[in-house]
Homo-oligomer: A and B are copies of this chain.
Amino acid sequence: MGNPKRIVILGAGYGGLAAALRLQKKLRRGEAEVTLVNKHDYHTLTTHLHKSAAGTDHPDNARVDLKEMLNSRRTRLLKAEVQRLEPTERKVVTDRGVLRYDYLIAGLGSEPEMFGIPGLKEHALTIRSTNSVRLIRQHIRYMLAKYKTQPKRLDYLTFVVGGAGFTGTEFAGELADKMPELCRLFDVDPSLVRICSIEAGAAPLPPGMPRELVRYGMEKLTAKGVSFKLTTSIRECTPEGVRLSDGEFIPAGTVIWAAGVRGNRLLEEAGFETARGRVAVDPCLRSRQHREVFIVGDSALVLGPSGTPYPPTAQIAVQQGRYAADSLLAQLHGRRLPPFRYDHRGTVATLGRAEAIGVVGGRAVTGLLAYVLKLLADAGYLFTIGGLPLVLRKTVFRRS
């Protein structure tokens, strides 16, 4: 046996963390040195960020300290920002130095896709990190407070959500649930508040949701005070509001952009072949140009059995992270793994408090049942990364 292999994992999101935990558990002593590079010293529960953004949950509940999950003797944690990948040189440049690797697992995640719409980058807010959702949370409250000192500015009470996919819809539901409390807090008449969901497609919620569930979801959200504009897109965003494709201008102090993501730009900048920032990988999740590089999560473009790419979800990222780790281990041990296959456990979208819709085990579920299933799935994930103590701390003993 030669020198230990140098394995570098970029990003401690769903994919990167899953890979790190798998390697930590399965690598034989001395077989490899694993370095996990992450911008923050915590793992973000990205699927919970819409709650922190709306203010229905404390931002700290949407993150977990990496030190709690990683064994520092088996996995080296480097808090650094990745600046550049140089795959032909097998190295990664960070703001804390250069890392060389034999194997790379890149779980660099996604970034908002603005589609070149003027003004979005400058004036819209996005649900993508602890910092960005804290800004949204504070921005919403700031608008209510500003309205109270300028009561003619009804635009301060208008909240536009661009995109009614998973994140946009879940956020709109949470915000509608939070609004009565915020209105009490700021002495604002709740009937003056508008939450507008703008969706370019013909229906809200993720594609593939059965029609009756979509109808159910829209009814629930409309009853909470969310208004939908379908087959309508945002053409321009200004400090005063948004211009829509049908010519309407909605004066709004808050615009949340949740209408799409693209792969992390670092990958295309490094010369990987990408489509909207996502790297097309081989059936074993390896770059076709650099076989020692695995791409997992939102940055990986993997075609499903139907020939369409898998969506960028946490569930898929976790499975890819684990697969990449297993595949890497197999290579180290001279074995080969069958290609990656996504095991779809179900999809549930929450619609605010105690209300959700989804398909689990092939069956449509709604209401409290769907909501509880989602909670259980979340708890299950927390259990896999941090065991019972983490589950308890993020559920029973959560921060309020």
Contact = CB atoms under 8 A, between A and B. Distances in A.
A145 interface: yes
Contact of A138 (B132, B135, B145): B145
Among A135, A139, A146, residue most surrounded by chain B Cβ atoms (within 10 Å)? A135
Nearest to A125: B149
A141 interface: yes
A383 interface: no
Interface string A120-156: 0000000000111011011101101110110000000
A153 to B, nearest CB: 12
User: What DSSP secondary structure best describes chain A's contact surface?
Assistant: helix
Contact of A139 (B135, B142, B144, B148): B142
B138 A142 contact: yes
A80 B142 CA distance: 26
A130 B186 CA distance: 9
A145 B134 contact: yes
Contact of A186 (B134, B144, B186): B134
Interface string A15-53: 000000000000000000000000000000000000000
A47 B224 CA distance: 39
Contacts of A130: 187
B145 A137 contact: yes
A137 B146 CA distance: 11
Contacts of A131: 145, 148-149, 187
Contacts of A137: 145
A336 to B, nearest CB: 44
In this complex, which of A132, A139, A141, A142 has the most chain B Cβ atoms within 10 angstroms of its Cβ?
A: A142
A32 to B, nearest CB: 32
Contacts of A138: 138, 141-142, 144-145
Nearest to A140: B138
Contact of A135 (B132, B135, B145, B187): B145
Contacts of A134: 145, 148, 186
Contact of A149 (B135, B142, B145, B148): B135
A41 to B, nearest CB: 10
Interface string A316-330: 000000000000000
A39 to B, nearest CB: 12
Contact of A148 (B135, B148, B186): B135
Contacts of A142: 135, 138-139, 141-142
Nearest to A42: B187
Contacts of A139: 142, 145
A186 B137 CA distance: 12
Contact of A141 (B132, B141, B148): B141
A255 to B, nearest CB: 15
Nearest to A141: B138
A242 to B, nearest CB: 21
Interface string A175-188: 00000000000110
Nearest to A137: B145
Contacts of A187: 130-131
A144 B142 CA distance: 12
16 contacts: A130-B187, A131-B145, A131-B149, A131-B187, A135-B142, A135-B146, A135-B148, A137-B145, A138-B138, A138-B141, A138-B144, A138-B145, A139-B142, A139-B145, A141-B141, A142-B142
Given A131-B145, A135-B148, A138-B142, 5 more contacts: A131-B149, A134-B145, A135-B145, A137-B145, A138-B145
